[in-house]
Structure 1
Amino acid sequence: MIRKVKPEIRVVGFDDGTFSFSSKVAHGRTILVGVVMKGAREVVGVLSRWITVDGTDATEKLIDAVVNSRFKDLRVIMLKGVTYGGFNIVDLDKLYLETGLPVLVVIRKKPDLRAMEAALRKHFPDWRERFEVLRRAPPLFELIPGKLYLQTVGLSPETAAEIVRTTTKTGLIPEPLRLAHMIASAVMTGESTKE
C-alpha cells in the first residue's frame, strides 16, 4: 500500500507500438514497452515484450516483464488503456494479484463499451471471454473532466491522482507512458510519434 507519494516514486509505464491491418490479419506481433522512472525526473530503465496483435497474451507478457525484471523497487504499474495490439485485453485484477503492484490505467478518451462489445462479437469467436475481462475492469473516474480518465486496482482515486500529478512533466500524460509510447512507435515504424 502506498501511504505517501514521493517525488521519486518508482513506476513503470507501458504502451504498445503501432501495427498494420496486415499484421492483424496475419496475427502478427507488436511491441509492448515499459519505461521505468523515478517520478517524472529520471529514466531508470526500459522493459519490452512482444505481444500478438488481437491475441490474448498481453496480461501474461506484462506480468512476465515486471516479475522477471531487475527493478524490484517498483511501486506502481501504469497502463495506457486496457487494450493493446488491437483487442489484446489486459486483465487488471490478474496483473495486480500476480505482480503484487497496484495498477493505474490512464486514458484520454472514455471508451464506448457498447461499440467494443459489438466489435468483439463481430470479429472474435471468444468475444464473451474478452468482453468479460473488459466488464470486470474497475470503473473509470475523471481526473480532468472530458480530458483524462483513470482506473485503478490497489490504489485509491486520491492516491492515483497524486501519482499522475507527480509523474507528469508536461501535458496530460504521465512521463513513463509518454516515453513508452514514443519508444514503442519508433521500434515499429522507425520514428517516434507524438503521444
Structure 2
Amino acid sequence: MIRKVKPEIRVVGFDDGTFSFSSKLERRKTVLIGVVMKGSREVVGVLSRWITVDGSDATDLMIDAVLRSRFKDLRVILLKGITYGGFNVVDLERLHHETGLPVIVVVRKRPDLAAMETALRKHFPDWRERLEILRRAPPLFELIPEKLYVQALGIPPETAAEVVKTTTRTGLIPEPLRLAHMIASAVMTGESTKE
C-alpha cells in the first residue's frame, strides 16, 4: 500500500517496439522494454523481453521481468495501454496479483472497445478470451480532459493520478513510459522515434 507518493518513488514503465504487418502474419517477436526509475529524474535500470506479435505472452513476460529483476523495491508498474505487440493483451489482474504491485495504465486516447471487439472477432480464434481480459480492466478516468486517461488496479485513482504526475517530467506521459518507448523503437528500427 502506498501511503504517500514520494518524489523518488521506484516505478517500472513498459512499452513495446514497432512491428510490421508481415510480423503480424508470421507471429514474429517485438521487444518489450521496462524502464526502472526513481520518480521522473533518475533511471536505475532497464528490463527487456521479446513478446510475440499478436500472441498471448505479454502478461507472463512482464511478470517474469518484474519478479526476476534485481529491483526488489519497485512500488508501481506503469503501462502504456493494455495491448502490446498488436493484440497481445495484458491481463492486469494477473499482473497485479502475481507481482504484488499496483498497475497504472496511461493512454492518450480513449480506447474504442467496440472497434477492438470487431477486430478480435475477425482475426483471432480465441477472441472471447482476449475480449474478456479487456472487459475486466478497471474503469478509465480522465486525468487531463481529452488528453490523458488512466486506469488503476491495486491503487486508489487519486493516488494513481499522483504517481503519474510525480513520474512525469515533460509533456503528458510519465518519464519511464516515454523512455521505454524510445528504447524499444531504437532496438527495432535503429533509431528512437518521438513519443
- What TM-score comes out, normalization by structure 1 length? 1.00
Is residue 30 of structure 1 aligned with residue 17 of structure 2?
no
1:20, distance to aligned residue in structure 2 (A): 0.4
Percent of pairs with identical residues: 81
Aligned residue in 1 for 2:144 = 144
Question: Which residue of structure 1 lines up, in the alignment, with residue 165 of structure 2?
Answer: 165
Separation in structure 1 between the aligned mates of residue 163 and residue 131 of structure 2, nearest angstrom: 29
SS at 1:5's partner residue? coil
1:67-86 equivalences under 5 Å are 67-86=67-86
Kindly indicate whether residue 45 of structure 2 is the aligned counterpart of residue 45 of structure 1: yes
Structure 1 residue identity aligned to 2:120: L
| Cα offset, 1:152, TM superposition | 0.6
Aligned residue for 1:93? 93
Q: Supply the distance in 2 between the matched residues of 1:160 and 1:139 (Cα, whole angstroms).
A: 13
* Structure 2 residue aligned with 1:56: 56
Gaps of 5+ in 1: none
Residue number in structure 2 paired with 1:109: 109
- The one-letter code of the counterpart of 1:177 is L
Q: Report the Cα distance in structure 1 between the residues aligned to 2:163 and 2:97, rounded to whole angstroms.
A: 20
> What amino acid is aligned across from residue 89 of structure 2 in structure 1?
I
Structure 2 portions without partners, runs of 5+: none
Report the AA paired with residue 51 of structure 2: I
> How many residue pairs end up in the alignment?
195
C-alpha displacement of 1:40? 0.4
DSSP 3-state at the match of 2:105: strand
Equivalent residue number for residue 17 of structure 1? 17
SS at match of 1:49: strand
What amino acid is the match of 2:157?
Answer: P
Work out the CA distance in 2 between the residues paired with 1:126 and 1:167.
Answer: 36
Distance 2:163 2:135 in 1: 25
- AA aligned opposite 1:41: R
- Per the TM alignment, residue 17 of structure 1 is displaced from its structure 2 partner at its CA by 0.2
Could you tell me how far apart the structure 2 residues matched to 1:20 and 1:175 are?
26
Q: Runs of 4+ in structure 1 displaced over 2 angstroms? A: none
By how many angstroms is 1:37 displaced? 0.2
CA RMSD after TM alignment: 0.3
